[in-house]
Amino acid sequence: MAGVEVTIRTQDKELNALLKALANISPAKNPRIMRDGITRIILAIQAEFGKGKIIKAGREHAPPLKTNLTSRHGGAGLLGSIGPDFSKLPREGSLGTALRYAEPHETGGTFRRRAHTRSRNGSQHSVKGHSVTMPKRAFMRPAITSARPQMASILVKLLEEEASR
């Protein structure tokens, strides 16, 4: 080579240590990274639900809504129903609820309530099946938005842990 040349050499021992560290942080070779990363991110998002933020939309001509998501009956209801599903790790994890009224809460819409009995002032009475229309009161998106800044730092910390093993 004509001109100026710089040659950089590493000792075989240093190169082997570097290659080993890189192999440790390869999700293809180390599924623990994906499993732990997805788990930690889902748990961070789930922690945001405890803060109970909701987005209100389309309420110009209606009474004001509460400004946060609440947990009725000691953890029952929408807030108490939100949980993780880690059954498809290390490739995938999810967080959500199976309640029928969760989607209308998130996006706005109508769902059908079945006939049921209700207790009021100590007496039981029957309620016929009926449709319930709910305004958009998103609860998933605010939690994800709030947790988003933590997601990258969770993965960086995990990669640093794996590289140092």
> Which position has the higher pLDDT, 121 or 57?
121
Q: Give every CB contact of residue 20 below 8 A, 6+ residues apart in sequence.
A: none
> Does 52 reside within a domain?
yes
The torsion angle over the Cα atoms of residues 9, 14, 19 and 23, rounded to 10 degrees, is -160
> Does 7 reside within a domain?
no
Q: How far apart are CA 14 and CA 87, in angstroms?
A: 39
Using pLDDT thresholds of 50, 70 and 90, give the confidence band for residue 73.
very low
Q: Which domain holds residue 53?
A: 12-163
> Does 3 reside within a domain?
no
pLDDT tens, residue by residue, 96-147: 888 888 888 888 888 888 888 888 888 888 889 889 888 887 878 888 888 8
> Does 92 reside within a domain?
yes
> Does 78 reside within a domain?
yes
> Does 16 reside within a domain?
yes
> Does 139 reside within a domain?
yes
**In the prediction, which pLDDT does 69 show?**
56
Contact 163, 21 (CB under 8 A): yes
Contact 25, 33 (CB under 8 A): yes
> Does 5 reside within a domain?
no
Q: How far apart are CA 23 and CA 16, in angstroms?
A: 10
What's the mean pLDDT when you consider all of the chain?
76
- Number of domains making up the chain: 1
